[in-house]
Amino acid sequence: MKLKRLLTILLLVVFTSHFLYSQNNENTAVNEEVELLKKELQDLKQAQNIKLDQLEKLIQSIKEKIESKEQEDEFAKLLEQANQLGAQKAKEKSNISKKFHSGVRKQQGLNPNISLGGDFFAGVSSSDDKFINEGSNFSYGNNGFHIRETEIALVAPLDPYTRGKAFFSITKRGISIEEAYMELLNLPLNMNLKAGVFYAEFGALNRHHDHALPQFDRPRALVNYFSNLGLGGTGMAANFMLPSLLFSDASSLDISIINGGNGVSFTNEGKKRLLYVGHWKNYYDLNKNSYFEFSLNGVVGKNDSTGKYNSYVSSLGLTYKWTPVGREKYRTLDWKTELFYGVYETPTHDVISRGFYSSIQNKFNSRLWGSLRVGYSELPYDNSQSEWDFTATLDFWQSEFVFFRLQYQHNRRDIINMRQLPNMELPSDHSIILQISWAMGPHKHEAY
């Protein structure tokens, strides 16, 4: 029994030793095989790198040959052009006795940009008052067809330091100079000078010509203070770019002295007709799509032919404009507001008058605009008489040279004794205007 156990144990020892020996040999073989595969992979990678280096050298060699060929072709081309030019010059030189030169065509470069614009409208009013329907310095007319103005514009740089502009207005009352002035640019003190006939810088709309207004007519506050002719005349003006004031992005000051007068706030008779106008404007960039600006404006002058009494008109102008970057062709919002305060001296007392207007324009798409405007003003020489105006317009821009406008306006008047209508009441009315305006030439419908 003990012998059997001994033999069994011996067999187990022998079998176990054989198994462990076999397993050890197998692990050794696997390790050798792994090392062999690593070596083969490394050799393969090294061979591949050698081939890549050879391929890059081949590509570089081909590229250099191509560039060399292109340079040779370019040089040959330039040489051929030089030969042709030399032959042409030689030919011109040989025929120089038969050539005649003129500078006539070169003179065209000195001609100004010439444009012609037309402003037609048809109107109907609920009133048959002649003062409203026949046209004056306070009304363009109504109840019929009218050419408000035909304008000829000439604009040109005179030299690197000056430019000239002239606008001639042709109406049923005759031909007149609307503006004609020369500007001296980039003078010391960040100054520009202007001399001639011009509209003074005053508020947001005074310098606009009629066809460039956001509505068909001027706000009644502007008309009752300065008439439809606006605040302008013959004189000189200086514009200064100022250091930024009140945290603004830009600040400017305009000072004008003009021989003006419109028979309303200021006399148009006698020798003492000089008007002194000031305009200070601050500009603010709100973001990349919008800006805001405000202006303080003032004008002083005589209101009687003897020159004893003065008139003062001041205003605060506010403007906000939103134009989204990349969408400016299709969307724009433009808001303008101006508040007026006037003092009119008389032999017995000073007349204090007030007025305002607020206008908003909205661009619906690339061609369609809509606008609303409301305004109120007292007559500068009699603040007991006043006028409200409510306006709505729809504009269709066929192109930048042609637009159509449909306007509705209600004027509510409490005026019974205007200087132009002594002891005659000026009635309230409703009116509808169809305006068609066009421009021929580079001078388009814009502010100047």
pLDDT in the model for residue 79: 77
Q: Is the pLDDT assigned to residue 363 strictly greater than 90?
A: yes
Top-confidence residue, 378 or 62 = 378
CA-closest candidate to residue 223, choices 128, 352, 132: 132
CA distance 289 to 247: 19
Q: Is the pLDDT assigned to residue 141 strictly greater than 90?
A: no
pLDDT in the model for residue 167: 95
Give mean pLDDT, residues 282-304: 95
Specify whether the CB–CB gap between 194 and 236 falls below 8 A.
yes
Q: Is 46 helix (H, G, I), strand (E, B) or coil?
A: helix
Give CATH for domain 117-440: 2.40.160.10
Give mean pLDDT, residues 105-129: 85
pLDDT in the model for residue 270: 79
Helix and strand element counts for the chain (H, E): 3, 16
**Cα torsion 258, 260, 266, 268: sign:** positive
Between 110-114, 388-392, 396-400, the lowest mean confidence (pLDDT) is in: 110-114
pLDDT in the model for residue 69: 73
Q: What backbone phi and psi angles, to 5 degrees, belong to 37?
A: -65, -40
Q: Is 27 helix (H, G, I), strand (E, B) or coil?
A: helix
Query: What is the DSSP-derived secondary structure letter of residue 231?
Result: S
Q: Is the pLDDT assigned to residue 121 strictly greater than 60?
A: yes
Structure tokens at 52: 């890549």
CA-closest candidate to residue 233, choices 253, 203, 210, 261: 261
Q: Is 187 helix (H, G, I), strand (E, B) or coil?
A: strand
Q: Give residue for tokens 């040779």.
A: 72
The model's pLDDT over 227-261, given as tens digits with 9 standing for 90+, comes to 998 999 999 999 999 998 888 999 999 999 999 88
pLDDT in the model for residue 150: 94
pLDDT category of residue 108 using cuts at 50, 70 and 90: low
Secondary structure (DSSP) of 379-427: ETTEEEEEEEEEEEEEEEEEETTEEEEEEEEEEEEEBS-BTTBTT--B-
pLDDT in the model for residue 413: 94
Top-confidence residue, 287 or 138 = 287
Structure tokens at 244: 């930024």
pLDDT in the model for residue 110: 75
Q: Is the pLDDT assigned to residue 383 strictly greater than 80?
A: yes
Specify whether the CB–CB gap between 338 and 318 falls below 8 A.
yes
Structure tokens at 339: 């508040």
Q: Is the pLDDT assigned to residue 341 strictly greater than 90?
A: yes
pLDDT in the model for residue 448: 43
CA distance 183 to 3: 134
CA distance 20 to 70: 75
Give residue 129's Cα distance to chain centre. Answer: 40
pLDDT, averaged across the chain: 86
Structure tokens at 117: 């614009």
Q: What backbone phi and psi angles, to 5 degrees, belong to 266?
A: -130, 145
Q: Is the pLDDT assigned to residue 18 strictly greater than 80?
A: no
Q: Is 348 helix (H, G, I), strand (E, B) or coil?
A: coil
Give mean pLDDT, residues 30-51: 78
Q: Is the pLDDT assigned to residue 23 strictly greater than 70?
A: no
Specify whether the CB–CB gap between 354 and 341 falls below 8 A.
yes
pLDDT category of residue 128 using cuts at 50, 70 and 90: confident
Give mean pLDDT, residues 349-374: 96
pLDDT in the model for residue 45: 78
Give mean pLDDT, residues 192-200: 96
Using a pLDDT cut of 70, give the percent of the chain over it. Answer: 87
The model's pLDDT over 59-105, given as tens digits with 9 standing for 90+, comes to 887 777 777 777 777 777 777 877 777 666 655 555 555 555 555 54
